[in-house]
Structure 1
Amino acid sequence: MIGREEDMASRRQTVVSEQQRGGAVPVGKQKNVNAADAKSRRALGDIGNLVNIRVAEGKPEPHINRPITRSFGAQLLANAQAPAANKQKPVAIPANAAVGRVGTKPVTKATADTKVANEELMQTSASSGSFTKSSRKKVTTLSSVLTARSKVACGLTDKPKELVDDIDEADKEDELAVVDYVEDIYKFYKSAEHYSRPHGYMDSQVEINAKMRAILADWLIEVHHKFELMPETLYLTFHIIDRYLSMETVLRRELQLVGVSAMLIASKYEEIWAPEVNDFICISDRAYTREQILGMEKGILNKLEWNLTVPTAYVFLVRFLKAASSCDKEVEHLTFFFSELALTQYSMLRYCPSMVAASAVYAARCTVKRTPLWTERLVRHTGFSEQELLDCTGILVDSHSLAPESKLKIVYKKYAREQLGAVALHPPATTLLEELKASSSWK
C-alpha cells in the first residue's frame, strides 16, 4: 500500500510539473489517474495547455469566444462603423487575445509603441528623481458649484484680483479659524455692535463722574495684569461696566463694587480658570464682603438680561491687525497700548468698538511711521477711510502724549516694559496727526 501511494504521488507530481511548464501531459499518463484528478487537470488545462494538447493530437484548433471587454467592444464598434469608401482595413484582433483575463487589451503596434514610450518616460523620470502624475478628469462637485454661485452673488468674480486679497489664506487648514465663515461673522459683528453699545450716561449719574471712572479703569487694568487674565476678559469687563452704568444709577461708594463684580462676570465668561470671589475680596483690600459681590453680580446680570455675547473692540483688533500685518510685533504692541488707553477714556464711548479698534491700528502705524499709513486692504477689512479715523485717532495720540505725566499711568508703565517692546516710550505722533488733519480739512 505504501509503495502504491508513493507511485500515485510521483505520478501526480509529474502531471503538475508538466502543467506548470505549459507542456502537454502524455496521454498514457492521463489514463492511469483517477477521475477526480483528471477533472482537476482539465480545469487547469483550460488556462493554457488544452489548446496545445489538441494541436499535438492532430485535431483542428477550436474557435474560442473572446470575452467582450470594453476595449474589445470599442474595436468591434470601430470596425462596424468604418466607412466603406475609405476601404480601411478592420482593426486586427489577434487569435491569442482570448487567452487572458477579462479586460486585457489586445497587443497592437500602437499599444506596443505607447508601452515602450511610457517605459522610457518612467525611466527618465526615475533617473531625474521625479514622477509625473496622470491627468484625471476634473469632476464638478456640488460644493464647487455653490461656492461659484456665492462668489457671483457677492460680486467677487467681477473685482480685480488685488481687491479680493485673502488675508486668511494661511489659515485654511486651521479649523478653529473658520475661514469659510469669517467674513460673514465680521459682517454680523459690524451690525450687532450698534445694538449692544452703551450710550453716554454721566449726565444721568449723580455721584460719579468721568474722572472716577478713569480711576476705576486704571485700577482694573492693573488687577487684570496681576491676575494674568485673557485680553478678552478686560474688554468685556469695561463693556459690562458701561452698559450697567448707562442703565442704573450707582452711588460713589458702590462704583468699585460694580467694577469688581463686572470683572468676576467677565472672568467666568472668558476664562478657563476664573479667579474666585475671595481673590477679588483680597485685591480690593476687603472693602466688600462676599455677599455684596455676589449680590451685585446678580443685579448686573439681571439688568443686562444675561446678554454677554457682544462684539467688543478686541474682536475687531484681532481682525484689523491681521489685515495690517500679522508679523509686525511693534505695531501689534502699540495697537493694544492705544486700545487700553481708550478704555480709560470716557469720551471714547461715542465711537463704536470697530472704529476704536481701527483708530488704534491707525495711531500705531502713525507712531512708527509705516508707509503707507493706511492701505486699501485696511480700508476693505475695517470699513473706514483714513479721513474717518482722524478724530478718534487724535484722542488716542493726545492720551499717549499725556500719559508720562498723568497720575493714572498703569497702561503707560505696562507697555514701557521690554517684554512688550517698550512701545509706550515712542514719541507721540502729535505733529503728524496735526498735519494730516490740516491736509484733510484743506481738501
Structure 2
Amino acid sequence: DEQGNEVQVRWAALLILLVIIPTIGGNILVILAVSLEKKLQYATNYFLTSLAVADLLVGLFVMPIALLIILFDNAWPFPTALCPIWLFLDVLFSTASIMHLCAISLDRYIAIKKPIQASQYNSWATTIIKIIVVWLISIGIAIPIPIRGIEEGNGNSTNITCVLMPDRFHDFILYGSVAAFFIPLAIMIVTYFLTIQVLRKKAYLINKPPQRFTWSTVSTVFQRDTTPASSPEKVAMLNGSRKDKTLSYDMPICRTSTIGRKSMQTITNEQRASKVLGIVFFLFLLMWCPFFITNISSVLCNSCNKEVFQKLMEIFVWIGYVSSGVNPLVYTLFNKTFREAFSRYITCNYRTTKPIEALRKCSSRISFRSSVAENSKLFVMHGMRNGINPIMYQSPMRLRSSPIQASSAILLDTLLLTENEVDKTEEQVSYV
C-alpha cells in the first residue's frame, strides 16, 4: 500500500509539472498577448482567445479534480451531487476546445476562398456571434450529463467512481462522441485540404501574371463632335448612356511585378499559416482520437472487458487534456509576435511596441491610390483631346480580366485580398 501511494504521488507530481502548470500558464499568456498586442487583435485571434479561455478552464477546474481522483484511488472525494457537475464541465470545456478548432478551420477557409465577402462580414460583432454559437453548441452537447446524473444519482452513496457509466449514459456516449469529435474532425480535415487546394491554385495563377487587362466602363461617355459646323475642340458629354465597349491596356511591368510580389507574399504567409493549422489539427487528432475510439468501443462492444476499457480511459483522458496545453506551445514556436510577447510577459514587461510598420504601409497605400487617381485624370484629358469615339472609362482600381487570357480571372480576387488584408506581414498573419 505504501509503495502504491508513493507511485500515485509521483504520478501526481509529474502531471502537475508537465501538464497542469504549462496549460494554465500558456493559455494565460495567449489571452494577455491578444489583449495587449495591437498586431494580434483581429478576428481569427479572437477565436484563439476564446479557445485559450476554454483550455484555461480545463486546467483550472477539470485537471486538478482529476488529479485528486488519482490520489484518492479513483474515488470521488467530494459530495456526490457535485460529480455530474464536474463531468459536465469536463465535457463542456473539452468540447468547446474541439469546436473552436473546427470553427477556426471553417472561418479560415471562407476567408481564403471568398476574401471580399468575408472581409465585409468580418467585424467584431460577427466574431462574437460566432464564438457564442460555438459555446452554445458545446453546452448543448454536455447538458444531458447534469440532468441525467442529478435525476438518477444516489446522494447517500459514498466512495463512488465519478465516470460516465455505459449502462446509464449509453446513448450519450455514442451520440455525444460523434457530435463532439468525429463530426468536427471530418469538417476540419475537409476544410484543411480545401484550403491547401485554393492556396495552391492562387499561387499558380499569380506566378503566371497576365499581360493585358480590360478596364470596365462607367456611365459617362466622352464623344468628339466632328461635324464641320462645330468647333475643332468642342466635346459633347453624354450622360446616362452605357455601352459594353472596353479598353485594352498594357499594365506597366514595374506595377505588375509589385502587385505580384505583394500577392505572392500574402499567399506564402497563408500557406505557412495553413501548415501550422495542419500541425495543430494533427496533434489534436493524435491526442483525442484514442479517447473517443475507446469511449465508443466501451459502448458498442458488450463482450469486451469493462475494467480494461476503464483503465484505458483513465490514461487516454489525460492524453486528451494535454491538448489544452499544446496550443500555446505551437503559437510560441511558429508565430514571431506571440513569441516576442511571451518572452516579455515572462519577464513582467507588458509594454507593447508601436506599430511603425503599419504607418509605413498606410503611406504606401495612399501613394498608390494617388498615382492611380492621377493616371485616371490624365487618361480622361488625353482621351477628350484626341477624340476617343466613344469610350467609357473607369478607374483602374475597378479592374476586370480580359477574355483573351483566362489566367487573369483570379487577379481581382488577389488584389482585393491583398488590399483588404493591408498586405499582411509575417507578424500579422494568424498561424492557427
**Smaller-chain TM-score range?**
under 0.3
| Structure in which a larger fraction of residues adopt strand | 2
Instruction: Give the number of the structure with larger relative contact order, counting CA–CA contacts within 8 Å between residues 6 or more apart.
Output: 2
Q: Over alpha carbons, which structure has the higher Rg? A: 1
Q: TM-score, normalised by structure 1?
A: 0.20
Query: Greater share of helix residues, 1 or 2?
Result: 2
